[in-house]
Structure 1
């Protein structure tokens, strides 16, 4: 049986600065600086953004690491993958 595909979302929190969020995304999600900046801008202006797609076990670890940094994230099943 194939693992379901999940999406990790970052939510805007008004607590952390732009640079802090960018650094966290680069460190935890292995984003390039351009990817991390784009995600941070989208999150700021739209309230949340999709930051990573993958299997639950991988994304759960990233979610925990981002939460440890104080960021608000959520993990949802990718309903468009089916």
Structure 2
């Protein structure tokens, strides 16, 4: 017996995994911090490579914001706190 698409059963989604993937640190542009400081902090707090950090800093500068890290909330919280303590403007969304 062939099943129609309406009869097919979809696998259950693990909501905890989905929620973890949706968390992200968003870094916002400001007129205070230098590119070098932002790059250094992204390398230190978010484990970016220098090239990745430079690209994110340019996106923040020209677009106003950039998602700089995704993951579970427990992983992102101390990273975001480090960015905030360094004088950057960031939040977890």
TM-score range, shorter chain: 0.7 to 0.9
RMSD: 1.1
TM-score scaled by structure 1?
Answer: 0.88
TM-score scaled by structure 2?
Answer: 0.78
Unaligned runs of 5+ in 2: 1-14
What is the deviation of 1:2? 2.1
What is the deviation of 1:12? 0.3
1:2 and 2:19 are equivalent in the alignment: no
* Poorly superposed stretches of 4+, deviation over 6 Å: none
Larger radius of gyration: 2
Provide, for residues 45-75 of structure 1, a one-character-per-residue CA deviation record: whole Å limited to 9, x for no partner: 0000010000001101111010000000011
Between the two structures, name the one with larger relative contact order (CA 8 Å, sep ≥ 6).
Answer: 1
